[in-house]
Structure 1
Amino acid sequence: MKDITKKYSNGEVTIVWKPEVCKHSEICFHGLPEVFDPQAKPWINADGSTTDRIVQQVKKCPSGALTFYLNDKAEEAAEISATSLAEIVPNGPRLIYGNVVIKNTAGKETPFHMVTAMCRCGSSSNMPYCDGTHITIGYKDNQ
């Protein structure tokens, strides 16, 4: 598999997109369509909103396919922690932070190094990953 990384900048922040990592949750363009528009070429318009709004939206990417860095801090290297953390999002996915390898039933292993969103509702069309279906079906935790 080809490792593609694309970068889009508004001068203050650079959005980094790794298409091979994307799990197509659609959170990016449902939350900030003026920046993330899958019908446009290129689909990311870094000039479409403020740096603060872009940063907040990119932080919501459950797969880590979208990341960012502030251009004035570009020299600072991102530190990858050896610790992993699993977090349950109320009425949503299980987020796994850190370095993990997901092994499917066929034995294929996929490494992740930021955030991975795992389906909890059982209705994702991209199992075992969350694709946002929990929102459309009104999934609620057993309280």
Structure 2
Amino acid sequence: MDQRQYPAEGIVVYYAPRLCIHAQECVRGLPEVFRRGERPWVQPQHATPEQIAEVIHRCPSGALRYVRLDGVPGEAAPQAISLRFVPNGPVYLRGPLEFKTPDGEVIFRGTRAALCRCGASKNKPFCDNSHLETGFEAEGAALEVGRDG
């Protein structure tokens, strides 16, 4: 999967554009680091690794992740898998996630993902915001399941 990296002292931020659904948790959380309309749009030198990690944990799609270079552990996967069905939108997953093709090829491994619920995504199984164009309507809900499902 195509991903870009943005290094700074103590941290490297990784961004996978194909996963981003523009929830803007990053922009709202640290506008001095995540700068829409600028190149590069991620400028991690403007905050501490702790601040950046805290905001990246809010990214519902998993498009943003990081590796700490200062000896501090990175993001740990929750033991349980939680699902949040966004009203009229995707399902957000958190937990130890691994998605495979029918022939067993791993296409995603991470702790956060936004999956398509409307069926119109051109990036299945991931959401690409097609629900906004199709007028998809569905209720929201939250669910947490143990590691064994």
TM-score class, shorter-chain normalisation, is 0.5 to 0.7
The 1:43/1:4 distance shift into structure 2, 3 A limit, reads: closer
The alpha carbon displacement at 1:94 in A equals: 1.2
The answer to which structure has the higher strand fraction is: 2
- Does structure 1 residue 138 correspond to structure 2 residue 147? no
**Structure 1: tracts of 5 or more residues without a match:** none
Aligned length: 136
- CA deviations on 1:48-73 (whole Å, 9 max, x unpaired) are 89xxxx8887455333231469xxxx
The 1:123/1:8 distance shift into structure 2, 3 A limit, reads: farther
- Does structure 1 residue 63 correspond to structure 2 residue 66? no
Q: TM-score, normalised by structure 2?
A: 0.60
Q: Kindly, what percent of the aligned residue pairs are identical?
A: 26
- Does structure 1 residue 77 correspond to structure 2 residue 73? yes
The alpha carbon displacement at 1:83 in A equals: 2.5
- CA deviations on 1:12-67 (whole Å, 9 max, x unpaired) are xx672243x851323349x6688343x64312245889xxxx88874553332314
Matched letter for residue 23 of structure 1: L
- Does structure 1 residue 17 correspond to structure 2 residue 14? yes
**SS of the residue 2:133 aligns to:** helix
The 1:22/1:90 distance shift into structure 2, 3 A limit, reads: same
**SS of the residue 1:99 aligns to:** strand
Q: CA RMSD in A?
A: 4.2
**Structure 2: tracts of 5 or more residues without a match:** 141-149
Matching residue of 1:115: 112
